[in-house]
Structure 1
Amino acid sequence: MFHRNKVIMQALIQHEAVLPNLPSASGVEVVGNVAYVIGDDAPFLYQLNAATLAAGEPTRLFETAHFSTGRIPKELKLDLECMTALTTPTGETGLLALGSGATAAREQGFWVPLLKTGGVGNVYPVSLGGLYSTLRTLLPPGIVLNLEATAATATELLLFQRTVGLATGNLLFRLPLAATLNYLHHRAQQVPAVQKQLFELPVIDGKPAGFSGATWFDSRLFVTASVEDTQDAVLDGVVLGSFVGVLELAKPSEKVLPVRLAQLELPGGKPYRGKVESVAVRRKSGPRSYELLLVTDDDAGGSTAVTVALSL
């Protein structure tokens, strides 16, 4: 009997470029011809040409006296790990950047409107304490809130919990987009209802991966995950590798759902050992293929941009 071969997902690195003067890249989104990047210990929203990666003028998100060394100290940083581009129900397009919530200092976010004439508008701080308190009640016992990625569909805001070293805390929180934006902008007092889903991610050397990036493009949810040899939400560990793929948005259930991801490969087939922090899509290159733009963080302040050919 004839059996059709199962399609193998493949993620091949095409190019990697150092991003000078952009510390600890943690989030990236491509809007038009601009790649917007945040760093978890930097006070700026960086702007790059999405095709050439040439740096533009950064936008200051917040004032700080602790960036003189080029990195805000770990105990003081806002830890902006999550960023998504979205369009509000009123038609305003912008970027929502969120802190990880791993400490009290990391419950801050920002709304940055994107102007129709190009560029960014005034930056609006967003307090996340109330929302994050609700999310903590939905975590398994002993798990620390540590949001590392966000994405937005037309109707939902998706928040990804990363639990390093453990397989029991890789959660997706699903919130209604309009109601959540109303709450964050103080147009509503109640945190909207949250649905959650637990996912099973791949392992490297017995260490489970944790979510690190997400973006919504072409009606697909692209995600990244990386593996660190640590069990601490704040302290870094040795990076063992990273994955990328597409997560299917099914109806939330009590089951632990598997995720089909491809480990990032270098030319020649060797596994890539960098720590991927976020993903954006540059373009659709074929019926089931995409050109991705990833950003990485070496945990020492260095950042790179990685172009990847993903075949689903």
Structure 2
Amino acid sequence: MRLTHHQHFPGIPSASGLAYHDGHYYVVGDDATKLFILNADLTPAEQIPLPNADQKQTRIPKPVKNDWESLSTIVINNQTALLALGSGSLSPHRNAALLYFPGTGHIEIKDLSNFYKQIGDNIELNIEAATEIGEHLLIGNRGHLGRPENLLVRCEKQDIWNSPVKTHTTQLILPKEPAFSGISGLAWHPEKDWLYFTTSTEETASTYDDGKIGESRIGIIKNATNALQQPTVSPDEWFLLEKIHPVFKGQKIESICLRELNDGLEITLVADNDDGGSHLFRLAAE
């Protein structure tokens, strides 16, 4: 992998979810009041006010934020939508899904309380990642120092607010160094059937508190559809980002998306270092 471009966005707060669709990047922040849309060249295109968010604010206070931690494209009733998921780490504020339909501009919030109750009986909810994988939805649940388990939950349908939903959970087993790294982003490449994911280290022993930022990595799981049917899975490839380029040192990577170019696959990452702005990185997958 090779870094080709990086750019800071002081006007996009707390980026935690990133997706690419039809020539545009979509960025959502865990406490932002808007959905941000960028052109393919990363110039600002549009800002979509989020439902129930006070537009006089740029950031929602932590105790009541929806905590949108992931963003993915899905297909609902033959329409492409952008889906953001609340982390589920604090009920009821974070038990929600955000749907935005770029074709019509329609935006709405769905209640995920029943779905989160269904899967939360067995895990401590801290949903940080999601991606469409075929006709299914794959969710990444992040662990922490107090409970160091990263889980991949495959949902047999994408409209998870219409519960019950059949699910299968696979534990993501990462190399022992560092001591613990938590999943932060997911992106599936359908032609290769490769699952790309990001992780980061953070010194926190809960799903609610923030901690000191450490290292971020990219992992790849090949033959992902079959691998996710197993009880455990490990990355086939595993990259420390600051070894790719020193600009990644101290960056907390929150999300990942893929874009096919004429000369190959481009990987885009977004970082939120709790300073009020966001940073995007582009890499060539060599």
TM-score (norm 2): 0.89
* 1:42 matches 2:26: no
Matched residue, 2:219: 245
Q: For 1:171-210, list aligned pairs within 5 A.
A: 171-177=151-157, 180-181=158-159, 184=161, 186=162, 190-202=163-175, 204=177, 206-210=178-182
Larger Cα-atom Rg: 1
Matched residue, 1:213: 185
- After TM superposition, give the deviation of residue 227 of structure 1 in Å: 1.0
* 3-state DSSP of counterpart to 2:285: strand
Matched residue, 2:210: 236
- After TM superposition, give the deviation of residue 282 of structure 1 in Å: 2.5
Matched residue, 1:74: 62
Residue segments in structure 2 that go unaligned for 5+ positions in a row: none
Matched residue, 2:96: 108
Q: For 1:1-312, list aligned pairs within 5 A.
A: 11-50=1-40, 52-65=41-54, 68=56, 70-88=58-76, 90-104=77-91, 105-115=93-103, 120-139=104-123, 144-165=124-145, 168-177=148-157, 180-181=158-159, 184=161, 186=162, 190-202=163-175, 204=177, 206-217=178-189, 218=191, 219-248=193-222, 249=224, 250-254=227-231, 256-259=232-235, 260-265=237-242, 272-284=249-261, 290-311=265-286
Q: What per-residue deviation string (whole Å, max 9, x for no partner) do you get for residues 123-176 of structure 1?
A: 12110100001111222xxxx310000001222110100012257420000111
Quick check: 2:86–2:95 contact (8 Å CA) kept in 1?
A: yes
* 3-state DSSP of counterpart to 1:123: strand
* Separation in 2, partners of 1:64, 1:290: 36
* Separation in 2, partners of 1:42, 1:12: 30
AA aligned to 2:275 is A
Alpha-carbon distance change, 161 to 92 in structure 1, aligned in 2, over 3 angstroms: same
Alpha-carbon distance change, 192 to 270 in structure 1, aligned in 2, over 3 angstroms: closer
* Separation in 2, partners of 1:128, 1:202: 32
* 3-state DSSP of counterpart to 1:241: strand
* Separation in 1, partners of 2:250, 2:274: 13
* Separation in 2, partners of 1:48, 1:270: 22
Identity of aligned residues (%): 29
* Separation in 2, partners of 1:95, 1:271: 27
Q: What per-residue deviation string (whole Å, max 9, x for no partner) do you get for residues 192-249 of structure 1?
A: 2110000112455x43111101122333322111111222211111111111132242
Quick check: 1:13–1:264 contact (8 Å CA) kept in 2?
A: no
* Separation in 1, partners of 2:139, 2:60: 24
* Separation in 1, partners of 2:11, 2:2: 27
* 3-state DSSP of counterpart to 1:57: strand
Quick check: 1:263–1:271 contact (8 Å CA) kept in 2?
A: no
Residue segments in structure 1 that go unaligned for 5+ positions in a row: 1-10
Question: Structure 1 stretch 230-239 or stretch 18-27: which is displaced more?
Answer: 230-239
| Count of equivalent residues | 279
